[in-house]
Structure 1
C-alpha cells in the first residue's frame, strides 16, 4: 500500500503551473479562426477563468505515469475545449444569463451564433486530437461526446419531473463525471499505460467527477450569487431535481413534497420561496446527506489509486497531488 502523504495546494499549483499556462496558450492557438465571432467567444470564456480541473487531471495522470511529452499539453487543451463547448450549449439550453459572474455568451452574442460556436469548438477539439494519430484516444473522445449529449437529452426530458437517485447518478455521470474519467484515461493513454492502470485512473476520475457534481449541486442551493457566479438555486429554477432535493422528497411531509414539486413544475419561486425549500432540506438533513455522498465518492477516488506505484520522484509528486484533489473538490465554496 502506498504511504505517500497528501500534497498541499501550493505544491499542486507549483507542480502544474507552467503546464496549465501552456494548455491555455494551446487552447488560444487552437481557437484561432478567420470567423472572428468564434475566436471572440472562445477567448471570452477562457478569460472568464474556471478551475481548469479537467486538464489538471490529465496532466497529473500523465506525470504520475512518467510521461512528459508535448501531447499532454495538446490533449489538455482538447479536454478544456470540449468542456467549454458544453458550457456554451448548456447556457443556451438553460437560458442562463450569467456564467462565472459574467454575462453568459448567449446573452452577449445571441443563441444562434453560440450554438454554432459551440459546434465549432467540438469539431476543433477532435481536429486537435487527430494530431495524436491514436485510435484509442479518438475512441475515448467519441464515447465521451456520445455520453455527454445523451446526458443532456435525458436531462431535458426529465426537467420539471421527479427522478430517483439512480436516475440522478446516471445523469451526473454522463454530464460531468464521464469527462473527469476520460481526462484521467487520456493521461494514461498518452503514456502507453496498461489497460489495468488506465482503468484504475478512470475509476479515480469517475468517482471524483461524481463528488464534484454533487458538491456543485449543493452549492447551487446554498451559495451566494456573488460567490458561485450565477443566481442561487438555478437548478430548481430550471426544473432540475438534485440529490438533496430527491432525499427531502422521500422524507418530507405531504405539504413539503408539494412545495418542492411546485417549484420544479413552475421553474421559479413565485409561489414557494427559495428560503422555504432551503428550510425543508435543512430540516431533513438533506444537504448533509448529499455532502456525505460527495465525501464518500472523494474517498473512493483516493482509494482507487492508493496502490499505484511511483516510477520516480516527479511521479510521486503527481500522485500526492491526485490525493489532494478530492479534498479540494469537497471543501470548495464555488
Structure 2
C-alpha cells in the first residue's frame, strides 16, 4: 500500500477513533451472556480484530448526513455482531482451521457450540437494534440476514461446479455487498435522509462491497499464506469459482478449462498445482480482468456520493474505494 494510502487511512481512523472505541465497548457489553461459552466465543472473535470497515461505513454515512447521536454506536455494534455471526458460521461450513492468522473458533469450541453462539449473536443483534424503536431499521436487518443465509445456501449448491459471472455477482452481493449496503442505509435512516439520498448511500455500499469481495477473491488466489493469515487458494480448494477463475473458464483453452474444472471437482491441488492455476489466470489476463471490474465498482461507489454536502466525512468516504483496491490482505 502506498505511503499516501497509509497516511489517509490514519486520517480516517483518527476521524473515527473515539466512535470506533465506543462501538468496541458496546459490542463487548452486548455480547455478554449468562452462558460462559457464548461470552468466551464472542470475546475471542471480537479480539481477533478485523478492519471494522462495516461499522466505519455506518459512522461515516451517518456523520456525512449530519447525525451525531448514540444510535450510530448502537447500530455499529449491531452490524459488527451480524458480521461476526456470519464468520462463525462460514468457518464451520468451510471447515476452516484458521481465521485472521489464529485458530478458528470451531477448532477450539467445536462446531455445535459455535453454531449456537452464531445464532445467539444474530438474535442479540436484533435485540439491541430494537432499542432504536424503528421498524425500518429492523426491516433492513431482517432482509440483510435472509439475503446472507440464502447466499450461503446458494454457494453450497454451486460448490465444485463452474458458474457464470451473473451467478457470481449474485453470490457476492448476498455474502458481502449486502452488509456494506445496509451499513450505509442505516446511517441514512439515523440521519432522517430522504429516500433518494438513502438509495444513493445504498448504491455506494453495494458497489464498494462488490469491489471489496472481488479484491478479496483475487488476493485468495495471488497472495501468500503469511499475508492472508489462512491457506492460499482456499476458495478453489472449497470448490468455489471466483471472478478470475470464471474469466479463464470462459476465455481460456480447452486444456485451461479442464485443469480448472479438475481442481473445482477434486477440491484440492493433487492433480493440478496452485502454480499452474495462477499461470493459467495470468496468461488469460483473468486477474487483470477481475481487478478492472473491481475498479469500475469503486468508481460507481464514488459517483454515488455526489448527493452529499462537502465534509471531512464525505472526503473519507471518497477515499475508502482506493483503500479497498489497494488492499494486500
Q: Does 1:328 align with 2:323?
A: yes
1:91 matched to which residue of 2?
Answer: 91
2:14 matched to which residue of 1?
Answer: 14
TM-score normalised per structure 1 = 0.96
Q: 1:29-84: per-residue Cα shift (whole Å, max 9, x none)?
A: 00011111111111111111101000000000000011000010000000000000
Moved more, 7-16 or 187-196: 7-16
Report how far residue 10 of structure 1 moved: 2.1
Report how far residue 308 of structure 1 moved: 1.8
Report how far residue 255 of structure 1 moved: 1.1
2:113 matched to which residue of 1?
Answer: 113
Matches within 5 A, 1:16-35: 16-35=16-35
Give aligned pairs, total: 323
1:193 matched to which residue of 2?
Answer: 193
Report how far residue 307 of structure 1 moved: 3.5
Report how far residue 306 of structure 1 moved: 2.3
2:215 matched to which residue of 1?
Answer: 215
User: SS of 1:227's equivalent?
Assistant: helix
1:78 matched to which residue of 2?
Answer: 78
User: SS of 1:32's equivalent?
Assistant: coil
User: SS of 1:305's equivalent?
Assistant: helix
Q: Which runs of no fewer than 5 residues in structure 2 stay unpaired? A: 1-6
Contact 2:97/2:104 (CA < 8 Å) preserved in 1? yes
Q: 1:205-250: per-residue Cα shift (whole Å, max 9, x none)?
A: 0000000000000000001111111100000000000000000011
Q: Does 1:306 align with 2:306?
A: yes
Q: 1:269-291: per-residue Cα shift (whole Å, max 9, x none)?
A: 01110000000000001001100
1:286 matched to which residue of 2?
Answer: 286
Matches within 5 A, 1:1-334: 8-310=8-310, 316-334=311-329
Aligned mates of 1:17, 1:154 — CA distance in 2: 37
Contact 2:197/2:307 (CA < 8 Å) preserved in 1? no
Q: Which runs of no fewer than 5 residues in structure 1 stay unpaired? A: 1-6, 311-315
Aligned mates of 1:47, 1:226 — CA distance in 2: 20
Q: 1:58-115: per-residue Cα shift (whole Å, max 9, x none)?
A: 0000000110000100000000000000000000000000000000011111000000
2:3 matched to which residue of 1?
Answer: none
User: SS of 2:259's equivalent?
Assistant: helix
User: SS of 1:306's equivalent?
Assistant: helix
Aligned mates of 2:80, 2:26 — CA distance in 1: 10
Report how far residue 264 of structure 1 moved: 0.2
User: SS of 1:210's equivalent?
Assistant: helix
Aligned mates of 2:93, 2:10 — CA distance in 1: 37
Q: 1:127-162: per-residue Cα shift (whole Å, max 9, x none)?
A: 000000000000000110111011010000000011
CA RMSD of superposed structures (Å): 0.8
User: SS of 1:160's equivalent?
Assistant: coil
User: SS of 2:69's equivalent?
Assistant: coil
Aligned mates of 2:296, 2:108 — CA distance in 1: 39
Aligned mates of 1:43, 1:327 — CA distance in 2: 31
Contact 2:200/2:307 (CA < 8 Å) preserved in 1? no
Aligned mates of 1:160, 1:35 — CA distance in 2: 38
TM-score normalised per structure 2 = 0.97
